[in-house]
Structure 1
Amino acid sequence: MAVFARVKVFAAACGMLGLAAGAAEAASCGKDGSGFAVWLANYKASVEARGIDASPLNSVRYDTGIIRIDRNQKGAFRGTLEQFMARRAPASYVSKAKGLMKSQAGLLKKIEARYGVQPEVLLAIWGMETGFGANSGNKDVFQPLATLAYDCRRSEFFTNELDSALEIAHRGYIPASQMKGAGFGELGQTQFLPSKYLQYAVDFDGDGRRDLIHSRADVLASTANFLRGHGWQPGGGYGPGEVNYRVWNDWNRASIYQQALAEFARRIAN
């Protein structure tokens, strides 16, 4: 889920201690890094007062790079559909997805039986997001999330994601040291934001963990669970004008991304 498009309904599962409300009150946002240290100290105090370990934030700094990228995301969605697909869903990805459709047929069939999401849809998302897991990212999630939570542009949204990331680490779902992604706090092979991990990640391989970093079964089933949770109709069409096309908007709000996912899935299925 590209972050540009994820600013949508974010009723997060921060239920354990009501982190979001308290943390949002910790300090005001800022438009540059001058007040970040004070904001961070107040935020950490608010979190710790609720019994949550804030130590993953001990080494974070205001990240000017992530601010610059955040201000310029629209550029990534320019051009024609074919130009976008050449970058994000080239012919080599279609070929690889067709191979995975065969080699992972048993897993994909089980996931479709449980959630009603077609295999080509999951493969399209997996391929477009991280090249089937090859480009999941290795950047710590806490620094960008803290920077964007402090930044006034989308402070409430990213404070919720920072709360959720700390909850994931505190509950032991994923060790803080392993919480790495592409740069905006996303986790795993289909790039779940932390609040979406709490809401939709599932343990499909039965090992007792919801592992979106290493477990192919958990990655694909969790992605299917997300789509089903946003109204995906089992077996329904996903092209423009069809019943499931609107659900792409809940994955990514950029219209060209939605068009590309639908077309990518179609090419995989054909």
Structure 2
Amino acid sequence: MKRMLSVVLGVSLSASVLASEKGSFEEYVEGLKQEAKSLGISQQILTEAFQGVEFKPRAVTADRNQPEKKLTLDEYIPRAVPDWKVKKAKELHQKYYAELQQVADEYGVQSRFIVALWGVESNFGTFTGNYRVIDALSTLAYEGRREAFFRKEALAALTILEQGHIAPDKMKGSWAGAMGQSQFMPSSFLNFAADGNGDGKKDIWNSEADVFASTANYLAQSGWDDSYTWGRQVKVPHGISPELQGREAAKGKYLQEWSKLGVTRYDGRPLPQLDEDIKAWLIMPDDENGRVYLVYNNYNVLMKWNRSYYFALAVSHLADRIAMD
């Protein structure tokens, strides 16, 4: 209780400092509303969206907090992708197989990756966040650590409301404003959300068809190639230069080149010999003593979705488990 009180008091103190520098939260919201109005957001939407708007100290606390202990991949993967989640993913992949295959064919994205992202992001739509998105984004913009980013996202959220995809009181998300079953930030929604069921709305909160189409559209527009998978865990020879690892474009090498450097599949077999060789990047998210991977460009696309090596590997691992018998 004392620790929580100190955290809340710390946030309140920061809010007080901000209030003295840039006015109260209420004054900041008024400025945000005026900017939105100048961009064409209607008064009705502004009234509904900001009705009862509140500063959310817990959102600021979450934004500032960093994990105290960094898990290794050997610790993280079983937690992020437990067996029960794999079982659920397979069941849902089968349940929605027809819809998923239609989306996969349309966008050129394997269905197992659509389901894997769904599972890792929101546990298949069961954990989507209960913050009013406008509250969360207004709070984080006012707090100021990343004001430009969150103010832009708040304006994007208002644009979504103006377009009629969701009612203001139903626009819920995470403390950071990530929304719906695919956990899109509002700007990502505007760029990538898709109407999968043809009802004229892009509803990533309630429509699985829209979630699937939106996820696939994001990946497709970001450079996904369904001719290939994401990569694979590998073994490297002892003493391999750590300078070879990294996702910079210049560090990509063809599989035959990696083979000549002594890189093998995890079970020791040679790397695949493809009719058309493919570039891959060597990554060591922990260090050379931890798990080592060769990843293809599809993995780089997953990193555009979320810039965490661990997140992208969790999605990739779940997608692989879905594909297994």
Q: Which moved more, 1:142-151 or 1:39-48?
A: 39-48
Of 139, 152, 163, the residue aligned with 2:144 is: 152
Query: 1:90 Cα deviation (Å)?
Result: 1.0
User: Partners of 1:44 and 1:77 in 2: how far apart?
Assistant: 40
Q: Which residue of 1 aligns with 2:307?
A: 253
Pairs within 5 Å for 1:1-270: 32-34=17-19, 35=23, 36-52=25-41, 53=43, 54-55=46-47, 56-72=49-65, 74-75=66-67, 78-239=70-231, 240-270=294-324
Query: 1:230 Cα deviation (Å)?
Result: 0.7
User: Partners of 1:268 and 1:219 in 2: how far apart?
Assistant: 18
Cα 1:77–1:236 shift into 2, 3 Å: farther
Cα 1:33–1:66 shift into 2, 3 Å: farther
The answer (yes or no) to whether the contact 1:66–1:183 under 8 Å persists in 2 is: yes
Which runs of structure 1 show a deviation greater than 3 angstroms over 4 or more consecutive aligned residues? 30-33
Query: 1:58 Cα deviation (Å)?
Result: 3.5
- What is the TM-score normalised by the length of structure 2? 0.69
Cα 1:32–1:226 shift into 2, 3 Å: farther
User: Partners of 1:147 and 1:118 in 2: how far apart?
Assistant: 38
- The percentage of counterpart residues that share the same residue type is 37
User: Partners of 1:148 and 1:104 in 2: how far apart?
Assistant: 37
The answer (yes or no) to whether the contact 2:62–2:175 under 8 Å persists in 1 is: no
Coordinate RMSD, CA, aligned: 1.9
Amino acid at match of 1:261: V
Cα 1:112–1:51 shift into 2, 3 Å: closer
Amino acid at match of 1:242: Y
User: Partners of 1:32 and 1:131 in 2: how far apart?
Assistant: 38
Query: 1:87 Cα deviation (Å)?
Result: 3.1
User: Partners of 1:200 and 1:260 in 2: how far apart?
Assistant: 22
User: Partners of 1:222 and 1:234 in 2: how far apart?
Assistant: 16
Query: 1:112 Cα deviation (Å)?
Result: 0.9
Amino acid at match of 2:75: Q
Higher Rg: 2
Query: 1:84 Cα deviation (Å)?
Result: 2.3
Cα 1:77–1:116 shift into 2, 3 Å: farther
User: Partners of 2:109 and 2:119 in 1: how far apart?
Assistant: 16
The answer (yes or no) to whether the contact 1:57–1:142 under 8 Å persists in 2 is: yes
The answer (yes or no) to whether the contact 2:73–2:310 under 8 Å persists in 1 is: yes
What SS does structure 2 have at the residue aligned with 1:253? coil
Which structure has greater strand proportion? 2
Question: What are the superposed Cα offsets for residues 194-247 of structure 1, whole Å, 9 maximum, x if unpaired?
Answer: 111111111111122111111111101100100111111123221242231101
Cα 1:127–1:82 shift into 2, 3 Å: farther
User: Partners of 2:209 and 2:299 in 1: how far apart?
Assistant: 24
Amino acid at match of 2:137: L
Q: Which residue of 1 aligns with 2:248?
A: none
Amino acid at match of 1:123: V
Query: 1:48 Cα deviation (Å)?
Result: 2.3
The answer (yes or no) to whether the contact 1:31–1:152 under 8 Å persists in 2 is: no
What SS does structure 2 have at the residue aligned with 1:244? helix
Amino acid at match of 1:166: L
Q: Which moved more, 1:228-237 or 1:160-169?
A: 228-237
Q: Which moved more, 1:200-209 or 1:31-40?
A: 31-40
Cα 1:242–1:51 shift into 2, 3 Å: closer
The answer (yes or no) to whether the contact 2:138–2:151 under 8 Å persists in 1 is: yes
User: Partners of 1:91 and 1:82 in 2: how far apart?
Assistant: 15
Amino acid at match of 1:218: D
Query: 1:269 Cα deviation (Å)?
Result: 1.2
Cα 1:167–1:76 shift into 2, 3 Å: farther
